[in-house]
Amino acid sequence: MDIQADVIVVGSGVAGALLADRLAGAGIDVAMLEAGRRVDRSAALLRFHEALIKTPESPYPPTPAADFPLSHDPDHWYRQSGPDTFKSTYLKVVGGTTWHWLGTCLRHLPSDFRLRSRYGQGVDWPVQYGELEPFYQQAEAELGVAGDSGEDLGSPRSGGFPMPAISQTWLDRVITRALEGTDYRVRATPQARNSVVHEGRPPCCGSASCIPICPVQAKYDATVHVDRAQRKGLALYEETTATFVEVGPNREVSAIRYKRPDGSGGRVRGRVFAIAAHAIETPRLLLNSRSEAVPDGVANSSGQVGRNLMDHPVQLSWALSAEPVWPYRGPISTSGIENLRDGPFRSDRAAFRIHIGNDGWSWPTGAPISLAGDLVSQGLRGQALRRELREQASRHVQLAALMEQLPDPANRVLPDPHARDPYGVPLPQIRYRVDDYCARGLAAARQVHDDIFSRLNATQVQHHREFQGAGHIIGTCRMGDDPGSSVVDRHCRSHDHPNLFLLGSGVFPTSATANPTLTIAALSLRLAAEIQRTVCESC
């Protein structure tokens, strides 16, 4: 039942898939463990259409052997111990959470890597923007990012995007016109979504279901690179859950134990191990792997594994525009306001970016379906109902400010002392709090939203009273130069175990404001060369 390869990758999301593709392409023997199974797109799309509760997870029902958190039930899978509720989720399927991501592909700003030095907050990264820029360029090519190459989004570029930008919507244009002469700059959002036929995949068909599923795979998901890596020799093991990391007497990882739904199990052995199991599941695995050799868990001599959990807490606001803006069509977002992501204010409160939603009030209220129900309850029927539904739904506007969050060691993932999965691994206990720095950012975002709505002459302005989850799970295994305060080094190699690498947004020292996927991809591509050297040295 044992598995053997030169490099073992745990997790088939974007981080693991890109790494496996690069290594397999270099002739390295790679095996990948994935707790979930492959998704049948047609069947998943049908499940979404038939679902009474339409959530990011509704096309992908969890199984007992590959369970995961649910957006509509924050106490499913997570064991929350407060004081705030952690609201972001992930999937366990081949391709990972890229199945239900939006596709936004923003780069970090140069200042994001120097938050402590510039603004006295958080920590600095051990790498700078200039070191990652070539890998950002590669990542955009690998994922197939559509964007406006002539637009300055604050991150210097060495080349253009591989595809032209996705067309902005009428709603984007109305907001752009209303904000002329202000400090707010509406810009096309770079996104891993085809604007033209690209690598055999069609352009976006405008189905407005990017979250949770693209019906035609115009939006990138990591199965693109899993499939490519398999053609190059990758051995993929589905429904194979890593449960315990074994460490030998030389401090190197010697094997990873795994279990399967049918009760079988074994060990997977290799020269190099790369864990890309997301920022919740990676620390959960490492902390469960306590032994006499590593009494505090694998890679945890610093005590930092599981700590500094972050998200991009969202201020969600919505209103009724004075004129029709025609939402509920096209990609869920095609534009944003990106020039609020940096400035001296970061010494005092969080920065944010504003996502302009093409999905109207669907996120906060469930519209337009809920709107139809409300109008029926008011007694409207027939043509009167149709007219009022069109009149109101055509004017729905939604803004979402995604907030920077500082690392806090008290925000953490721990093994729950009571609840376990079917394989005996403790469920993730989450301790989480949004601090005053972030709260001041949320308050500033509400003011900006009010200003924008006023320029649209909007009515029925509403701000969600609670922050929302962005689906961006960050921190818990952060990188740094100091082994006493970080888990991995600047190359994502464990300070404790020379043949163990950790991938994904878990290694981010700070959250910044950019959606994390493109930076995950850039770090994974950068890491591939380091792992290739490590494998060669061990031969």
**Contact status, residue 299 vs residue 502, Cβ threshold 8 Å:** yes
**Contact status, residue 18 vs residue 12, Cβ threshold 8 Å:** no
Tell me the pairing of strands 30-33 and 235-237: parallel
Amino acid residing at 415: P
- Distance of alpha carbon 289 from the chain centroid: 25
DSSP string, 242-288: EEEEEE-TTSSEEEEEEE-TTS-EEEEE-SEEEE-SHHHHHHHHHHH
**429: which 2 tokens?**
């206990």
**Contact status, residue 171 vs residue 182, Cβ threshold 8 Å:** no
Packing angle, helices 436-455 and 170-178, rounded to 10: 90
Which residue's structure tokens are 């049918």?
A: 262
Amino acid residing at 175: I
Task: Based on the residue annotation, tell me whether 396 is a catalytic residue of this protein.
Answer: no
**375: which 2 tokens?**
């109008």
**252: which 2 tokens?**
């190197």
CA distance 340 to 163: 26
User: Would you tell me how many other CB atoms lie within 10 Å of the CB of residue 438?
Assistant: 24
Starting at the edge strand found earlier in the chain, the sheet holding 3-4 runs: 3-4, 265-269, 253-259, 241-247
Q: Which of 355, 472, 495, 497 is catalytic?
A: 472
The dihedral over CA atoms of 509, 512, 517, 519, expressed in degrees to the nearest 10, equals -60
Between the CA of residue 270 and those of 65, 281, 291, 534, 535, what are the distances in Å? 25, 21, 20, 12, 10
Tell me the pairing of strands 272-275 and 7-10: parallel
Sorted by sequence, the CB contacts under 8 Å of residue 522 that are 6+ apart come out as 132, 135, 136, 138, 139
> Annotated active-site positions, please?
472
